[in-house]
Amino acid sequence: MGVAGDPPYLSIRRLTKRFGSFTALDDVSLDVFAREFVVFLGPSGCGKTTLLRAIAGLDIQTSGSIHQGGRDVSMLPPAERDFGIVFQSYALFPNLSVTDNVGYGLVSRGASKAEIKARVSELLALVGLPDSGAKYPSQLSGGQQQRVALARALAISPGLLLLDEPLSALDARVRQHLRQELKELQRKLGITTIMVTHDQEEALALADRIVVMNHGVIDQVGSPTEIYRKPASPFVADFVGTMNFLKGAVSEAGMVAIGGRRFRVDGLNGMAPGTAALVCIRPEDVKTRNVEPGTENALEVEVRSLEFLGSFARARLVPSDGAELDLVADFSINLLRDLRVEPGIRLPVALPPDRLRAFPQ
Amino acid sequence: MTTATAPLVRPKASRDDLIMRGGLVLFAAVLLVIVALPLWSLLSKSFQDHNGNFIGFANYLRYVQTPALFQSFWNSLFIAVITTSIVVPLAFVYAYALTRSCMRFKALFQGLALIPILAPSLLPALSLIYLFGNQGLLKGWLFGQPVYGPVGIIAAQVFYCFPHALMILVTALSMADQRLYESADALGASRLRKFLTVTLPGAKYGLISTSFVIFTLVITDFGIAKVVGGRFNVLATDIYKQVIGQQNFEMGAVVGVILLVPALLSFAVDRIVARRQVAQLSARAVPFEPKPRRARDLALTIFCLVIGLMIFAVFAVAVWASFITFWPYNLTLTLKNYEFGNFDPLGWGVYWNSLLMASATAVFGTALVFLGAYLVEKSNRFGIGRGFVHLLAMIPLAVPGLVLGLSYIFFFNMKGNPLNVLYGTMAILVVNTVAHFYTVSHLTAMTALKQLDAEFEAVSASLKVPVWRTFFRVTVPICLPAILDVAIYLFVNAMTTVSAVIFLYSSETKLAALAIVNMDESGFTAGAAGMATVIAVTSAAVKLAQLGLSRLLSRTQAWRKR
């Protein structure tokens, strides 16, 4: 991965894209470093695909600039930029064999037949389809088609690989498998890669850095851990993973009043007393074991319902005294057994201050 | 946030973009010359006197005030309304039988009903003359009423229009969602209620569209009224008489503009309907599977048998009569009616002319249409150019052949038009026919192109492959079946068309379908029937060749197998 301090490989400055009166991208700036795997994450319509297509030159931005490898490519058509792309539909040419699809870009570069043949077999071996050259796309499974599309994009050794929701047309199982392969391949080749997805799990699993987008602006850029642990906005907190949102107000330095109780919150980000605050905690961060008298931010709750989710169960909790403070917390199956948790029972839980984050409302 | 003053990015056009934009501009120019400018000269002619002075609506006023002329307007309207109200219900039941019943021999019945498409509209008219004309076999059936006039026109129109109505209605009725019928069953709806609440609403747009198409077809058809119209004048024959008979071009132009009105109206309705029709059938719909019901299936079989046999009989009578020595007195078979030299100075030459014209139309027309559709569908940005070309391509659908033909006279005869060298040549017939049938071909090509993955061009650009290479290597091979469809459509129509080219042929470039009109005019009805038969056989052969060729394609091209 690129070291901070190196000049970025891709530098996006103040990019805005309008379609008529609709603003799809609003003053977006971003740096991508060489050999990095960056994922654009967001709900549909957030501008992530628009940004990718602007980088490719397929839908050129209304204003703003893009530099790639030190070259200003802002106004250039796709054919004069340096990238390979895989679309959600793969866009494989159905009337050409796998070999011809992969070699499609090589023929125009004046490579000899032998060179093309060697390069194509090398690429097919790389994506794990060494024997499928003679087949047509319609004879391949979705996952295999995806690999062929990847091989075709890599054939011309582009400086930048763009992936537009490449896994979303596949079955869940194939998707997980291909996800790992994609990551390994990217590491091996060291190619700078940008992928667009709406699947947060995919983003967390693949990315070196995640760019979370919403309504045409970037909400947060960070490593998967940062995005998950320290979401920069309620939107990011809600979109990535599951999150409890508790409405309250800052009462004094470091303390927030929620439903008649006061909680210590570490991540208060200097909000002044009196400010309305939205306090967040992930279900798995709610402390359910070893909560003793004197544990900070403890409260007694009643289990309302339990949702069995395989290796753990997600419980809906309400304070025993009836205060308004609905919580969702995860219980491991072991814990469930040990504590004999079932709907109706009461137990103490705590909200660790270092796991609480607050946003102004 | 955003700064209103941020400098706008001016995208640089790639070489591919420049090629495609150049192509679009060229295309706009071509379509202007072969469609828009001729129509403009027709329109302006209708506002001029003999000497070319602008006289406002004077010609129109004279038209309305001349009873002999204005009567044709009502006559045309009458014929069109009656024909439409006969054809649409018949075709609806026939289409219903083909799509919603468990009738047997569906393919056979469908084939029977489509026969009239293969021949010029003149053929059913000729048959009617053989059956009910002055020497008709069944003359007595009309109780002394002459077949020449409204009765003959309507009867011939019904036969000629039936397949056109049937094709639209079959499409409309085959788009049905089984789940709607299952829900209706579950709610205990009666058969009548299901028909009224599910079937009819589903086919509503198809019915509206069909009615307008048939109405326009009847009002703009020239051949039938010419052959069996007798003294009953309609708009289409009026144009011909005004222009060819009396050399009154201005009045011809007025009638032409009037003829444009119903066609434009039907065009507009069709567009609106087409827009609403979208998403009638979602991707998740379950295709309708008819269940056998003996009484219904039997009744529909009898209905189709009667209609199908009548269509076949009408077709067969003309073919049979073309082999008869002297109708109806000497019914021995002969080939002398195929010695066309006896009826027309060019003899078989008119047929070779037609073959040449139809082939040229198919080859050049298909190339032009497909390239044009490709430029419209696949160009980047340049919305104005794409929209303009698409609009121009839609115009011919709303322009009756006669009107287009007349427009060509005005435009290509204009003093100072460098293109008037084309006048009287085979080339102008080809250009005119391509223009005449442009829209349907364009839409067929567009539909095929829209089914391609929208990202093929983007992928090619990312691989630095020039656009023309992807066009020839990927787009054309995938679209081959559609290209074949367009070529056959153009060929068959070029073989059978009369209305537009009747103003444009010269003695050397006379076409087979036009020779039918001439022979009939000169009393050589048998020769006319013979020529109609030759054309029908040619169209049928070409259709069969297409069928074989598309089978071959799906068998030899492994990638087409799923």
- Calculate the alpha carbon distances from A214 to A175, A233, B104 in Å: 25, 11, 59
pLDDT band at A291 (very low <50, low <70, confident <90, very high): confident
pLDDT score, position B442? 92
Backbone angles phi, psi at A352, to 5 degrees: -55, 130
Show the beta-strand stretches assigned E in B205-270: none
Please report where in the chains the tokens 């002398």 appear, as a residue: B336
* B135, part of any domain: yes
Count Cβ atoms within 10 A of the Cβ of residue A317 and give its class: 0-12 exposed, 13-18 middle, 19 or more buried.
buried
For residue B2, the model assigns a pLDDT of 45
Answer whether residue B511 is part of any domain.
Answer: no
- Residue among B2, B380, B459 minimizing CB distance to A91: B459
Do residue A85 and residue B469 have CB atoms under 8 angstroms apart? no
What 8-state DSSP symbol labels residue A285? G
In a domain, B328, yes or no: no
Over residues A242-270, the pLDDT tens digits come to: 999 999 999 887 899 998 889 999 878 77
Residue B178 located in a structural domain = yes
The total domain count for chain B is 1
Residue B126 lies in a domain: yes
* Contact status of A82 with chain B (Cβ, < 8 Å): no
SS3 assignment, position A349: strand
> Across the strands, what pairs with A17?
A25
pTM surpassing 0.95?
A: no
pLDDT at B1 (0 to 100): 45
Q: Which residue has the higher pLDDT, B285 or A161?
A: A161
Is any Cβ of chain B less than 8 angstroms from the Cβ of A154? no
B556 inside domain? no
Q: Which residues of B touch A105 (CB under 8 A)?
A: 462-465
Taking the mean position of all CA atoms in its chain, how far away is CA B336? Answer: 33
| Closest approach of B278 to chain A, Cα-based (Å) | 23
SS3 content of chain B, % helix, strand, coil (to 5): 75, 0, 25
B170 domain-assigned: yes
**Shortest CA distance from A105: residue in chain B:** B463
- Closest by CA to B154, choosing from B71, B240, B219, is B219
Selected residue of A101, A104, A154 to mutate for chain B interface (largest B Cβ count, 10 A): A104
pLDDT at B3: 46
Q: Tokens for B420?
A: 């008037």
Backbone region of residue A100 per phi and psi (left: phi > 0; alpha: psi in -120 to 50; beta: other values)? alpha
Tell me what percent of the residues of chain A surpass a pLDDT of 70: 99
CB proximity list for B344: less than 8 A, separation 6 or greater: B350, B510, B515, B518, B519, B527
Q: Are A62 and B465 in contact (CB < 8 Å)?
A: no
pLDDT at position B351 is 95
B9·A84 Cβ contact <8 A: no
pLDDT in the model for residue A244: 93
Check: CB of residue B498 under 8 Å from CB of residue B222.
Answer: yes
When scoring B459, B557, B560 by the number of chain A Cβ atoms within 10 A, the one with the most, hence best to mutate, is B459
Using the Cβ of A138 and the Cβ atoms of chain B, whether some distance falls under 8 Å is answered with yes
What CATH number does the domain containing B154 carry?
1.10.3720.10
In whole angstroms, give the CA distance from residue B436 to residue B381: 29
A64 to chain B: which residues are within 8 Å by CB?
6, 9
Helix, strand or coil for residue A34? coil
Query: What would the pLDDT profile of A52-97 be if each residue is shown by its tens digit?
Result: 999 999 999 999 999 999 999 999 999 999 999 999 889 999 999 9
Categorise residue B21: left if φ over 0, alpha if ψ from -120 to 50, beta otherwise: alpha
Q: Name which of A62, A107, A138 is nearest B559 (Cβ-Cβ).
A: A138
Please report, in angstroms and rounded to a whole number, the separation of the first and last CA atoms in chain A: 37
From the list A64, A77, A137, the residue facing B12 with the nearest CB is: A77
Whole-angstrom Cα distance, residue B485 to residue B547?
A: 10
B382–chain A nearest CA distance, Å = 13
**Is some CB atom of chain B closer than 8 A to the CB atom of A71?**
no
CA dist B362 → A212, A360, B404, B514 (Å): 55, 70, 19, 19
A60, A78, A136: residue with CB nearest B9: A60
CA distances from residue A18 to A50, A106, B278 in whole angstroms, order as listed: 10, 35, 28
Structural domain span for residue B86: 57-276+288-321
Q: Are B8 and A85 an interchain contact pair (Cβ–Cβ within 8 Å)?
A: no
Residues of chain B with Cβ-Cβ distance to A72 below 8 Å are: none
What is the structure's pLDDT at B283? 53
Tokens of A356: 């609480």
Residues A56, B458: C-beta atoms closer than 8 Å: yes
Is B14 close to A79, i.e. CB distance below 8 A?
A: yes
| Pairwise CA distance, residues B321 & B336, whole Å | 12
B380, part of any domain = no
Query: How is residue B12 written in tokens?
Result: 């640089």
pLDDT of A2 reads: 45
pLDDT attached to residue B153: 94
Nearest to A78 among B8, B458, B561 (CB): B458
For residue B558, which residues of chain A lie inside 8 Å, CB to CB? 136
Say yes or no: A64 contacts chain B, CB-CB below 8 A.
yes
Residues B436, B494 contacting (CB under 8 angstroms): no
> Which chain A residues are Cβ-neighbours of B553 within 8 angstroms?
none
Written as tens digits, the pLDDT of chain B (562 aa) is 444 567 888 888 888 889 999 999 999 999 999 999 999 999 998 998 888 888 888 889 888 888 888 898 899 999 999 999 999 999 999 999 998 889 888 889 998 898 888 888 889 999 998 888 877 777 777 777 788 889 999 999 999 999 999 988 988 887 777 888 888 888 888 888 888 888 888 788 888 888 988 998 898 888 899 888 888 999 988 888 888 888 888 888 998 898 888 778 877 887 777 777 655 555 556 777 788 888 899 999 999 999 999 999 999 999 999 998 888 888 888 889 898 888 888 889 999 999 999 999 999 999 999 999 999 988 877 888 888 898 899 888 888 888 999 999 889 888 778 888 888 899 999 999 999 999 989 988 988 898 888 899 999 999 999 999 999 999 999 999 889 999 999 999 999 998 889 999 998 999 999 999 999 988 898 999 999 999 999 999 999 999 898 888 877 777 776 5
Query: Tokens at residue B537, please?
Result: 């056989």
B4 shares contact with chain A (CB less than 8 Å): no
